[in-house]
Amino acid sequence: VSTAEDNGILLYNGVNDHIAVELHDGRVKVTYDAGNQPGSTIYSSEIVNDGRFHTVELVTYDRMVNLSVDGGLPTTLDSLGHVQPLTRDAPLYVGDISKCVFCSSGMPENAQSVSFNHFQGCIRNLYINNELQDFTRTQMKPGVVPGCRACQELRCVNGLCQPDSADGPVCHCQPGWGGKHCDQALLAAATNPCLKH
């Protein structure tokens, strides 16, 4: 996964019992609910919204869900119920989920903690049960397109994106602007050497 955004849904599967993988404040958040209890949540310790590609691995076994980022130490969620693998009976949503998924049945109370922000960035090489998912063979939602272009996910408000710097995509700001997205006005003294004492 590669993004510069703080929040957004990465993957969602299930209806009454669900598993959700999302970005929350730049970290990976996993929510699991077997449908018979309040949902359980874990977060990665790593920040992943730096514009670089990160490997997010989610492994389920019996009552446990392990989350690791870039091969690091896993964070473990030990649920009270039996953890089900992703089910083929329920739709799998990648990158976006509409609240209207629950329009006919109503949103389950246990899904209310899930973000419905669409993901802005790139997801590549998605494996489910050791099988690479082919996005070209599935129906895409508007705004979800095959391929990854680094500067699509990094908005440079007052500047230009450089996609392939050593640190991933970065914004090069116009004079008078700064910040990660070139959206912070700089003081005149900081940009005009004649005004400095």
Quick one: pLDDT at residue 110?
A: 44
Taking only the tens place, the pLDDT of each residue in 174-196 is: 899 999 899 999 986 555 556 54
The whole-angstrom separation of Cα 39 and Cα 20 is 10
With H, G, I as helix, E, B as strand and everything else as coil, classify residue 92.
strand
Quick one: pLDDT at residue 45?
A: 94
Taking only the tens place, the pLDDT of each residue in 97-135 is: 765 555 444 444 444 555 667 887 888 888 888 888 877
Quick one: pLDDT at residue 140?
A: 62
- DSSP-derived letter for residue 145 is -
Quick one: pLDDT at residue 61?
A: 80
In the predicted structure, residue 30 carries a pLDDT above the cut 90: yes
155-164: list long-range contacts, CB under 8 Å, 24+ apart: 155/4, 155/181, 156/181, 156/182, 157/181, 157/182, 157/183, 158/182, 158/183
User: Between residues 164 and 3, which one has the greater pLDDT?
Assistant: 3
pTM here? 0.68
Q: Please state the length of the chain.
A: 197
Taking only the tens place, the pLDDT of each residue in 51-73 is: 788 999 998 887 788 999 999 99
Q: State residue 158 phi and psi, 5-degree precision.
A: -130, 60
Cβ–Cβ < 8 Å for 183, 171: no
Quick one: pLDDT at residue 25?
A: 95
Cβ–Cβ < 8 Å for 171, 156: yes
User: Between residues 156 and 57, which one has the greater pLDDT?
Assistant: 57
- Domains of the chain with CATH codes: 8-137 (2.60.120.200), 154-195 (2.10.25)
- DSSP-derived letter for residue 122 is B
Give the residue from 121, 86, 110 showing the smallest Cα distance to 9: 121
Q: State residue 51 phi and psi, 5-degree precision.
A: 85, -10
User: Between residues 34 and 117, which one has the greater pLDDT?
Assistant: 117
The whole-angstrom separation of Cα 81 and Cα 75 is 18
Q: Which helix (H) or strand (E) holds 191?
A: helix 188-191
Taking only the tens place, the pLDDT of each residue in 72-98 is: 999 988 766 555 556 566 777 888 776
Quick one: pLDDT at residue 197?
A: 46
